[in-house]
């Protein structure tokens, strides 16, 4: 009950919605289930989120923020731009892999939610591309990366490595050779960035 544990907040509703998704799965989880778990009426939940779609989009957005927030810190680390790019990509891969391995039920629910939340997903991809662009711009300014359009380079790197971080490829991440395969792709990328 929200009153026993403090006032009802957006975060409490989102936490509970995640638990409900984990328990019932995406196809069976409802706003009524979230309200029951909170011991409030579903109308109370609708005061925070005007629809089931809005609640699902907020849950998806929060999950994606958990992916992008640690990546935003990479640009503040020391090292060359290629080192930061490598760290950014391997961090992205580790975050996505841990979500698949540590909580597969919720990961699969999120995969389905992405289809419903195209605007949220598009915003997330834009945020990731912006982070890559900042690292590339810095590298170009310092002469660590060849001259070029940093936005175009960011898109190329992101999409060239999608096998290692796009959720649709999650089954491949369990391969014992996936890290070696990423490093082979990385070698091609870093060589191209320096010429």
Domain boundaries, the chain: 2-50, 60-194
Q: What is the dihedral of CA 7, 10, 16, 18, to 10 degrees?
A: -160
Residue range 130-144: mean pLDDT, rounded:
96
Q: Identify the pLDDT of residue 1.
A: 42
Domains 2-50 and 60-194 in one fold: no
Fold of 60-194: Tetracycline Repressor; domain 2 (1.10.357)
> pLDDT tens-digit profile of 14-43?
999 989 988 888 778 899 999 999 999 999
> pLDDT tens-digit profile of 83-136?
999 999 999 999 989 888 887 777 777 777 677 777 878 888 999 999 999 999
Helices (H), the chain: 2-5, 10-24, 31-38, 42-48, 52-72, 81-102, 104-116, 118-142, 150-160, 178-194
Is 1.10.10.60 the CATH classification of the domain at 2-50? yes
């Amino acid at each position: 009950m929200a009153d026993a544990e403090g006032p009802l907040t957006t975060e409490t509703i989102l936490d509970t919605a995640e638990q409900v998704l984990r328990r019932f799965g995406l196809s069976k989880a409802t706003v009524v289930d979230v309200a029951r778990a909170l011991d409030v009426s579903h109308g109370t939940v609708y005061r925070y989120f005007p629809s089931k779609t809005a609640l699902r989009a907020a849950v998806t957005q929060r999950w994606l923020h958990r992916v992008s927030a640690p990546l935003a810190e990479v640009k503040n680390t020391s090292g060359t731009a290629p080192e930061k790019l490598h760290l950014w990509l391997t961090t992205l891969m580790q975050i996505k892999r841990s979500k698949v391995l540590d909580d597969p039920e919720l990961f699969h629910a999120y995969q389905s939610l992405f289809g419903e939340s195209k605007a949220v997903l598009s915003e997330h991809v834009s945020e990731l591309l912006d982070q890559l662009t900042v690292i590339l711009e810095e590298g170009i300014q310092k002469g660590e990366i060849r001259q070029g359009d940093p936005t175009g380079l960011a898109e190329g790197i992101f999409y060239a490595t999608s096998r290692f971080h796009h959720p649709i490829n999650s089954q491949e991440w369990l391969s014992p050779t996936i890290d070696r395969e990423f490093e082979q792709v990385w070698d091609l990328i870093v060589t191209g960035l320096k010429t």
